[in-house]
Structure 1
Amino acid sequence: MPRKKTSEDEEKITVADAVRIAVTNRASYLECLRDGVVNYTWLAEKIMNDVERITKKKKVNIDAVKAALIRFQQDLQQEETTQRTTVGNVISKSTTELQNDISVITMKKEVVERKFEQLFKLAGEARFFNLNQGKKVYTIVISSEDVPELLRVFDEKEVLDKLDNQSAIIIISPYEIVNTPGVVSFITRLLYVNGVNITQLNSSYTDTILILPKEQALKAYHILEETIEEFRSMIKTPTTT
């Protein structure tokens, strides 16, 4: 008579699942595996301790780990192909704008909420304005020349953090971005692998707003423009108007 499954059996994680967890937790391993530029034996040895810990096994066969890596790579590449098609369609229809001389100011929620009326009046007059709400704070992204006016509304002592010399890249996409997973992930990954640091990220309907150091803005802008043009040449779609 077969042994009845226990809760312990149901909680066991397979080697294949453990391999996926171990690789996914290391961004560099995941990138190399997806791009097919990794030695399976080397990577299997690198993640072996993690796989044994996750599966709760004292010893895992390295060939089983290598086989799981190969299957995972195939899935990643298939996912990449599908994503590039759907994401590429959205990006090919997008346009970009670059605005320099941006400041990022963070204040406590109660401080900002006391003066919403004055703040929104300033928002309508500023060259650039974006407001992000966190659990305990608001972050105001504003054109640097309008900061003195902002600090006439609020006491400078109420500012928790102030970051100057920033730029904003606004990516204006078609409505499809709302229902297309992976677009923002693709953009942030693209900039990450090119060494660009994103200070703030926000989305508003079909706009994706990236705030980044001014010295990296032009590089990031050119990367995004080249990517948009690449997808347009592949898909041959009209731009958003």
Structure 2
Amino acid sequence: MKDVEVIQDPAVAEVTLDPVRARLLAALAEPGSATTLAAQVGLTRQKANYHLRALEQHGLVELVEERRKGNVTERILRATAASYVISPAALPAVAPEPGRVTDQLSAQWLLALAARLVREVGELITRARAARQRLASFAIDGEVRFASAADRAAFAEELGDAVKSLISKYHDTTAPGGRPHRIVVALHPSITRDADGTPISATSGTAATNPSTSTSTSTSSTQE
């Protein structure tokens, strides 16, 4: 079983978005049959079989073993991955593109970059698996609490300068055998939640005054 599967096929994405099939996929983190799954998700065995066939046809579940019980053969299945991510490549005509966003300080620009990251890294993972190679990548995830908006702006400026300095130091367009890599640096407010984990509206006083911000950086090879 893979840790993560990136879905790029629109037909496969459609299958996973069905609520019943999504529940079956989650349940199949551990091997199970139509009979055991039907009891878990509240379906008849026939209905569970119907949905499992659709998942298997699209490569989302795989056969682990077959068990003979009298005149019946019980098929034991398992999800092909522990979790799934739908790539923007599944909706190419309407997928966000950084080049179509004019305001590079907007959340829409950040989202377009994130979408491109998922699409490109998803494709690179597919290529690396086919070649039986490990994909070279790097990521940092952290959180910083700013005392004020001015501090946040200063941090962003210093971070940008530091990244530009590193790029200037290591970027070499003439190196024989050199390979380009994509680097993305993101800064956005953390989602604030109350004691029971419910997200607090951004319009409420608590969320509006919370200066905590999550930051992430990632690099990945642009070709495989």
TM-score by length of 2: 0.33
Under a length normalisation based on structure 1, what TM-score does the superposition of the two structures give?
A: 0.32
* Higher percent of residues as helix: 1
